[in-house]
Amino acid sequence: MATGKAGPGQAVHIPVLAEEVVAWLCPRTQGWYLDCTVGLGGTAERILQCSGPGGMLIGLDHDPSAIAHARARLHPYRDRVRLMCENFRHVTSAMRAARRTRVDGILFDLGLSSAQLAQPERGFSFQQDGPLDMRMNPDGGPTADVLVNTLPETHLASIIHTLGEERYARRIARAIVRARRLAPLRTTMALSGVVRQAVPRSYRGGRLHPATRTFQAFRLAVNDELGALTAALGDVTELLAPGGRLCVIAFHSLEDRVVKHAFRRVAREAPAQWTILTKKPVVPAGEERTANPRARSAKLRVMERAPAAAGAGGAGRA
């Protein structure tokens, strides 16, 4: 879920791989589609455009501000859209609330948007100073502040190593504990500074900011993103109508690994019912990567449920 930047404080939504998603989903009029990460509504808008005039879309997002933006963007399609502020972990109950048992296509566009990164008060970015929050939904759950300032050193190192794939996780965890003994680490700049000082000097001049992986690790931990993704992928296959397709865009190796393994498991357990359509993930073309640098790491995987047997008529979609 990447965006571009138009100017100071103004995020412009550039959905990643939107045309590829539409091509794989093949939206049709009268079809129902589920966007589990509706974000600012860019890809949802394309799906609605391509499924007009009767296509319907259910959009979920954990972030209430994203739902507000999506509602404004999708206002012209308001009679064809049902938006809910909900973590996709609870996709089954969200579908019940929407009074649907099946949909014809499902999309997950994972990761952060520039709109979220551009809000210092959200605490996602080390580029601007803000509180160590990092919650997708600001109304629930412990913040990154709580994890950073209370977890034992071994637990911190485990999070940074496992969820950030950070080679210097132990050094960073040790430095965090040492710093918080003097004063709690309350801001993004404070944490970023500790990480920068903890890693070798040669590591500070690489392509990535030295705090990138640590911030990713705490964000994933705060929101249990991989746990939610694993749970949701286990549920959505039951929600896909015959002939329907599931599209997932991941932005880092941990997410992509969860998706790849989930797809393989489903296809292995029911090979007559499921086909993985992307043997290798679809990646953005050079033009898109140039226009939208955040798209560079995106990987799209697609799986299809077998069409209904002749005469079944798509029963059970309502």
Q: What is the pLDDT of residues 209-243, one digit of tens each?
A: 999 999 999 999 999 999 999 999 999 999 999 99
pLDDT at 310: 55
Q: What is the pLDDT of residues 172-181, one digit of tens each?
A: 999 999 999 9
- 131 and 214: one domain? yes
In a domain, 310, yes or no: no
What is this structure's pTM? 0.91
Q: Which domain holds residue 168?
A: 124-222
Provide the pLDDT confidence category of residue 10 given band limits of 50, 70 and 90. very low
On average, the pLDDT of the chain sits at 92
Domain end marker among 187, 222, 257: 222
- 234 and 216: one domain? no
Domain end marker among 222, 256, 282: 222
In a domain, 317, yes or no: no
User: What number is the average pLDDT over the span 285-294?
Assistant: 86
CATH code for the domain in which residue 59 is found = 3.40.50.150
pLDDT value at 97 more than 60 = yes
- 97 and 111: one domain? yes
Domain end marker among 222, 244, 272: 222
In a domain, 318, yes or no: no
Give yes or no for a cis peptide into 53 (omega within 30° of 0).
yes
- 78 and 10: one domain? yes
Question: Which residues face 146 on adjacent strands?
Answer: none
User: What number is the average pLDDT over the span 191-215?
Assistant: 93
Q: What is the pLDDT of residues 19-37, one digit of tens each?
A: 999 999 999 999 999 999 9
pLDDT at 308: 85
In a domain, 214, yes or no: yes
Q: What is the pLDDT of residues 142-174, one digit of tens each?
A: 999 999 999 999 999 999 999 999 999 999 999
- 83 and 135: one domain? no
- 146 and 97: one domain? no
- 214 and 138: one domain? yes
In a domain, 79, yes or no: yes
Q: How many domains does the chain have?
A: 2
pLDDT at 113: 81
Question: Which residues face 131 on adjacent strands?
Answer: 187
In a domain, 314, yes or no: no
Tell me which of 114 and 213 has the higher pLDDT: 213
pLDDT at 314: 43
- 72 and 21: one domain? yes
pLDDT at 313: 44
Q: What is the pLDDT of residues 51-87, one digit of tens each?
A: 999 999 999 999 999 999 999 999 999 999 999 999 9
For a pLDDT cut of 90, what percent of the chain falls above it? 82
In a domain, 23, yes or no: yes
- 87 and 233: one domain? yes
pLDDT value at 11 more than 60 = no
Instruction: Give the chain as a DSSP string.
Output: ---EEEETTEEE---TTHHHHHHHH---TT-EEEETT-TTSHHHHHHHHHTTTT-EEEEEES-HHHHHHHHHHTGGGGGGEEEEE--GGGHHHHHHHTT-S-EEEEEEE-S--HHHHT-GGG---SSS--BS---SSTTSS--HHHHHHHS-HHHHHHHHHHHH--TTHHHHHHHHHHHHHHS---BHHHHHHHHHHHS-GGGTTSSS-TTHHHHHHHHHHHHTHHHHHHHHHHHHGGGEEEEEEEEEEE-SHHHHHHHHHHHHHHHHH-TTTEEES-SS-B---HHHHHH-GGGTT-EEEEEEEPPPPTT-TTTT--
- 241 and 163: one domain? no
Provide the pLDDT confidence category of residue 290 given band limits of 50, 70 and 90. confident
Query: Using CA atoms, how far apart are residues 115 and 152, in angstroms rounded to an integer?
Result: 33
- 12 and 83: one domain? yes
pLDDT at 115: 84
pLDDT at 63: 95
CATH code for the domain in which residue 202 is found = 1.10.150.170
- 91 and 236: one domain? yes
In a domain, 291, yes or no: yes
pLDDT at 309: 74
